[in-house]
Amino acid sequence: MAEEEYRSVQLIDGEGEFNDAGVDHFMKTTRLAECGLSYAVVSIMGPQSSGKSTLLNNLFKTDFREMDALRGRSQTTKGIWLSKCQGIDPYTIVMDLEGTDGRERGEDDTAFEKQSALFALAISDIVLINILASSVDKVDLSRWCHDIGREQAANKPLLKTVFQVMMRLFSPRKTTLLFVIRDKTRIWDSVSKPEAQKDTALSEFFNASFFLQRILFMIKSILTCISDNFSSLKQVEVTALSSYEEKEDQFHDQVAELRQRFVHSIAPGGLAGDRRGVVPASGFSFSAQHIWKVVRENKDLDLPAHKVMVATVRCEEIANEKLSHLTSDEKWLELEEAVQSGPVAGFAKKLEAILDAYIEEYDEEAVYFDESVRTAKRKQLESRALHLVHPTYQALLGHLRSNSLEKFQKDMESSLNSRKGFAASVRDCIESSMFEFDQGSADATISRTDWDASKVREKLHRDINAHANSLRNQKLSELTNHYEDKLTEALAEPVESLFEAAGNDTWASIRNLYHRETRNALSEFSTSLSGFELEKVIFDERITNLKEFSKSVVVKKAKEEAAKVLIRMKDRFSTVFSHDKDSMPRVWTGKENVRKITKDARTSALKLLAVMCAIRLDEKPDKIESTLMSALMDAPSALGRRTVTSLDSLASSTWEEVSPSNTLITPVQCKSLWKQFSSETEYTVTQAISAQEAHKRSNSALPPPWAILAIAILGFNELMVLMRNPLYLLLLFVMFLVSKALWVQLDVAETFQHGILPGILTLSTRFLPTVMNLLRKLAEEGAQPPTAPQSSQNNPPLDTQSFRSDSQRHAPPPLMTPAPDVPSSSSSTVSSPRSGVECPETKHFVEVDTEASYTS
C-alpha cells in the first residue's frame, strides 16, 4: 500500500485526454481529499531530455521514468504525469510535463507544449523551469548569459504566449517560477582561459550568489517583456546545479539543499506564491479537468509587437537603474538619517530636488523608446520612488505629531500654573499645537504627490483630546478630593465632640454645623468648577456627589459613635454619679440620696442613648427618648435584684417616624444595651452604699454621752477598787497593750467595713494565728541575751508600730469606687493573704484553708 501511495500516474496522455479514473484512484490511495487547503502543487517544464524526471526523482523521491542514456536523446515522458512527494510537509504533488522542442511532435506542432505549460502555470503553486547548459560549446560566459534571453532559448516564445493567455483566461495568481540552471560547471569549463588559469575554479573569479543574481535579473527582464504586470503576478527564483554525470556528489548535495526550500512551502514567506485561489483538495480532480478543458479550447496565442517588447525591457532596466541609484544616493541617505532624529526644515524641497534629478536622467536615456511604454515606466518609476521615500515622510509626520503633543502638554502645564481657566487653557493650547503641526506638515508635503497628513492630524487631535480629558479628570479628582478632605476636617471632629456631650440640642447643633460647612464648601466648589465649563448634567452631578459626601461624613461618624454608645453611657453615668453639681468629686458621707443620684445618672445615660439611636438631619420629630424613658426608667425593679418585664414598646426592629436607613440602634438593641449597662453600673452603686455605711460606722466609734455618764456613775465602786490595788492597774495596762496589738494586727476597723458577718468570720480565722505570732515574738524578745547590743539593734522590741505595719502589710486594700469602664460585679471579695480566706459579700459561707492557717 505504501509503494502504491507514491506511484506516479498519468494525468493527461500524449493525445491530450484527461485521465479521470487514474486521478480519482490517485486521490484515494494518497488520501489527498483529507488535506483541505494544506497541500502544494509543483510542476516542471523544459527541453526534452534535459533531466527533468531525474531532477524530480532525486528532489522529491518520485518514480518518474528517466531517459536511457544508451538510447540517446529521445522522448521519455509523454503527456503530463502526477506523483506524491515523499517526506515533505505539507502534502506536495509534483507534475512532470512532456519536454519541449521534441522532434516526435515536429517543429511546427507546439500547441500541446503551450497548452501543457499554460495548464501547469494555472494549477501549480511552484513551476520549475529546467535550463540545460550542456549544449553550450566554446562560448564565453557573457554570450551564454545573453543566450538565455535569445528568442528561442529557455522557451521564451512559449512563455510569452502562455503568460498572456493565462492572464486573459484566469484570474491573476502569483505563481513562483523557479529557474534551475543545470550543469553550471560546464559553462565555466567551456570558457577560453589563459594557460596559467586553466585549472582555476569558477568560485575564484565569481561569487556564486552574484552570478545567480545576474542571471535572475536577466530572466526577470525577459519575463517583463512578456507582461508589464509580470512582477505583480509572478515570483521568480533561480538556482543552479552541478552536472549529474560528472559531479554526482555535488549534485546530490545541492539537490538536498534545494529540497529544504520545499519544506513548509505554503507557510508565510515560503516558496509558494499566492494561495488565495487554491481550491480544497477534495475538488482537485474536478478543478484540474475544468482548467484543462478551458486551455484546450483556447485558440488566441498571438505575440506582442517586437518594438513594444524592446521598449518595455529597456525602459524597465533604466527605471530600475535609477531607482537603485536613488537608494544609495548620499543626499537621500543624509536626509533619511536626519529625519530619524527629528523634523527637518525644508524636507519637501530637498526631496523634490533629489527625485527630479533622477527623473530627468530617466527622461534623457529613454527619450527614443516608444512613448506610451516610456510614459508608463516613468510613472512606475515615480510611484516606486515615492513609495521608497514615503516611510521617511511618515516618520517626519510622526516627529511633528510628537512635538506638537509635547508642546500642548507643556503649554497646558504653564497655563494651569498661571491660574487660567481649564477650558480656556485647553482651547488656546490646542489651537497653538495644531497650528504648529499644520505648518510642519505643509513644509514636508511634496507637490506632485497626493500624500495626505489628515490621518496623522486626526490622530494628533485625538491624542490631544485624550490627554486633555485625562488631565481634566485628574484635576477634577484632585479638586473633589480637596473639598472632601476639607469637609471631613470641618465635620468629623466637631461632630464627635458634640456626640461626647450629647444632650437635647445635639442634633440641632450637628444640623447647623452640617448645613453651614456644606454650604460654604459647595459655594467654593461651584466657583472652581466653573473654569472647567462642564455640561450642566455633569456639573449638577458633581455638586450632588459632594453634598452626599458631606452627609456621609456625618452619618459615618454617627455610626462610629453608635458603636461606642455603651462606653459613652458608662462615662456619662460615672460623671453624673461620682461628681456633684459643681463637678467636684462626690464624698459619700451618708447624707446623700443614692437612689436619686443613681436615677439622675441613669436618666442622663439614657438621654445619650436616645440621641444615638437615629440620624436626625431632616429635623423630623420623633418619640425615641420618651419611648425609652417609659420603657426603661419606669420599669419595675426590686431591691437587690432587677426583674426586666416584657417591654412591648421595644420589641421591634424599627422606630416610629424614623426610616430604617436613618436608624443607628434599633429598639431591641436598646433593650439589650440597657440591660448590659445596668448590670455593669450596679457595682458602682453598691460601692457607694457601702461607703456610706462605713462612714456612719466610723463616726459612731464612741458611745453616746448618756452612756458615758451611766458608766461613770455605775462603775465608781470598781474604779475605787482599782485605785486601792495598783496591781489591777498594771494588769489592765498589759491587757490594753495586748488588745491594741491584736487590734492593729487584725485591722478590725477595716475588716468590719465589708459587713459584720464577713468581719466576724474573718477575725475568727485570723485570731488564733495572730495571737500565736505575738507570743512567738514576745518569746524571741525575752530570749535575747542582755550583753549583745547588736542583737538588740537587729531585733527591736515589739511595739504597736510594728504591729501596725505588719497589719497594713497583710490587710486587704481600701475601698475604692471603680471606674465605669472596668468590668463590675454585684458582689465584692475580702481576702486575707496570710490565711487564704475569701468572703463574698452576698454569700453566707466561708472556705477556710486550714493547712495555710496552721502553717502561719
Cell digits for 618? 431632616
Q: Is 50 annotated as a binding residue?
A: yes
Element (H, E) at 128: strand 126-132
In the beta sheet, which residues pair with residue 179?
129, 238
Residue type, 313: V
Please list, in sequence order, all residues whose beta carbon lies within 8 angstroms of the beta carbon of residue 381, skipping any fewer than 6 positions away: 319, 322, 323, 358, 359, 362
Closest CA to 200 of 185, 217, 212: 185
Distance (Å) of CA 15 to CA 12, 18, 642:
8, 9, 124
Cis previous bond, 585, omega within 30: no
For Cα atoms 324, 326, 328, give the angle at the middle one, nearest 5 degrees.
80
| Distance (Å, whole) CA 853 – CA 616 | 64
Q: Is 46 annotated as a binding residue?
A: yes
Please list, in sequence order, all residues whose beta carbon lies within 8 angstroms of the beta carbon of residue 841, skipping any fewer than 6 positions away: 754, 755, 758, 827, 828, 829, 830
What is residue 661's DSSP assignment?
G
Distance of CA 80 to the CA centre of its chain: 61
H, E, C per residue of 614-629: ECCCCCCCCCHHHHHH
- Where on the phi/psi map is residue 533: left (φ > 0), alpha (ψ -120 to 50), or beta? left
Please list, in sequence order, all residues whose beta carbon lies within 8 angstroms of the beta carbon of residue 590, skipping any fewer than 6 positions away: 692, 693, 695, 696
Q: Strands 91-97 and 39-45: what pairing?
A: parallel
485, 527 in Cβ contact below 8 A?
no
For residue 822, the SS3 value is coil
Q: Among all chains, which residue has been given the C-alpha cell 462606653?
A: 567
Distance of CA 574 to the CA centre of its chain: 55
| Distance (Å, whole) CA 780 – CA 783 | 5
- Helix and strand totals (H; E) in the chain: 31, 9
794, 801 in Cβ contact below 8 A?
no
Q: Is 782 annotated as a binding residue?
A: no
For residue 527, the SS3 value is helix
Phi, psi of 234 (to 5 degrees): -135, 145
Q: Strands 126-132 and 829-832: what pairing?
A: unpaired
Cell digits for 162? 502562455
In the beta sheet, which residues pair with residue 81?
10, 96
594, 645 in Cβ contact below 8 A?
no
Q: Is 51 annotated as a binding residue?
A: yes
b/e map 488-520, b = 16+ CB within 10 Å: bebbeebbeebbeebeeebbeebeebbeebbee
| Distance (Å, whole) CA 304 – CA 516 | 96
Please list, in sequence order, all residues whose beta carbon lies within 8 angstroms of the beta carbon of residue 310, skipping any fewer than 6 positions away: 225, 369
Q: Is 52 annotated as a binding residue?
A: yes
Q: At what angle do helices 156-169 and 208-226 cross, to 10 degrees?
A: 60
| Distance (Å, whole) CA 384 – CA 392 | 14
Annotated binding site: 46-53
Residue numbers belonging to the annotated binding site for GTP:
46-53
